[in-house]
Structure 1
């Protein structure tokens, strides 16, 4: 298979190491990966702010850049879900509809398509797993805690393959971090308080690192950790799965 790698703009600008880890991990697993150089934002910030009509250029560019690949892999739950649910193109409507069926967030690609059963990775640290809302409720990467149903977690399934890692328990396993994209701008005080609560849960259980499949959430919590002068670090799940 040939995979097109979509790197969200905030990963490209602030956390390039996560994009590099995603590429290296996929290549280690035998995947032929191509990075289309003209790619840009998925359009989610405009759409979430009520300006979906301004995303057409983004949608056209994504469609033209990624239509040829067998799959498109995105190391971000929110961006992956946005493309899956909202990608449309007046120029290439059929290509856009088909492309939406081929987009996968990294974790679901590893578990559902590659069906990874073994990883050569080592990360001897105590790690808390943050279940982002888009990944949890949109992509169903984990079971929602309010449901009376068997629990599962695709991120934890992969992390449990990593040698030396200790996944810590949390009091509230899938509570929102408060980032919410433009919500953190429109409702700054509420967003910050939610983030502080989320960080405190990880810290109280002894986390050395907080990981997840959405760097937007991790970025929000990292800002809080830095202001608190905490030694706890955030790290995208691709970096841990790619650790040797």
Structure 2
């Protein structure tokens, strides 16, 4: 299928826009490299997830309406955030547009999900020669089923792992607890900060114990939490969103001319 003829709406969560714009840029560049025609509605803003998570879903009506107005005419909507995508897929309700809301919800995809399930990409032209630990975000794993849950007696799979294994030079490390929560949990890290930090420290320790140089994942909110703990612990381990890794390439050094 020729995806260049389709209109792909790029949905960038507000925290990515404000704190990690490089993730949004990497997502755009990656989708274009994979043959997609991408549009970025400039008036998009928060999807309303923070209010809904705090028990104020009734206050997200304007967010729902704005999201619908920005993306309703897209063939697909893609975002580098599993938690925001899950919120839209499960909670988007526009007044007087119940059926239209259901149609739009089915068009919204997390980036890894879109690449594996819709584009069905066989190869990734990326290079990242480092030891990388994968953090499986809870929303992506248990809500969007990006990977199998270890507590189930079922065939294991992981869409992020499948993509990372296609990256040249990348060494994916084994972890003791592959799908343990990092403790971020949106507003949970505010209301239960001590528990959140302890969970994050445990998650970071697993990666450090296995000599990770980078921690990646498909939710920048989780990586933001882990990154803060790493910095406070003066660790050399870095965080990098999976979009940045899949979009990466080692630039060849061009020798300076001899004068």
TM-score interval w.r.t. the shorter chain? over 0.9
From 204, 227, 230, the equivalent of 2:235 is 230
Deviation at 1:92, TM superposition (A): 3.2
C-alpha displacement at 1:94, in angstroms?
2.9
Instruction: State the structure with more CA Rg.
Output: 2
For residue 212 of structure 1, the aligned residue among 197, 217, 221 is 217
1:182 to 2:170 alignment:
no
129, 135, 138: which one pairs with 1:133? 138
3-state DSSP class of the match of 2:196? helix
Report the 3-state secondary structure (helix = DSSP H, G, I; strand = E; otherwise coil) of the residue aligned with 1:3.
strand
Q: What is the RMSD computed on CA atoms of the aligned residues?
A: 0.6
The partner residue of 1:97 within 81, 95, 102 is: 102
Residue 240 of structure 1: CA displacement?
A: 0.1
Separation in structure 2 between the aligned mates of residue 120 and residue 182 of structure 1, nearest angstrom: 37
1:195 aligns with 2:200: yes
TM-score of the aligned structures, taking structure 1 as reference length: 0.99
Q: CA deviation at 1:91?
A: 4.6
The aligned residue for residue 12 of structure 1 is: 17
Q: Secondary structure at the match of 1:81?
A: helix
Tell me the residue number matched to 2:256.
none
What pairs with 1:58-207 in structure 2 (closer than 5 Å)? 58-207=63-212
For residues 108-150 of structure 1, the C-alpha deviation after alignment (integer angstroms, 9 at most, x for no partner) is: 0000000011011000000000000000100000000111111
Moved over 6 A (4+): none
SS at match of 1:140: coil
Deviation at 1:97, TM superposition (A): 1.6
1:216 counterpart SS class: helix
What's the CA shift string for 1:4-51, capped at 9, x where partnerless? 000000000010000000000000011000000000001000000000
Q: How many equivalent pairs are there?
A: 244
TM-score, length basis structure 2: 0.93
Structure 1 residue 43 and structure 2 residue 48: aligned?
yes
**Aligned with 1:85: secondary structure?**
helix
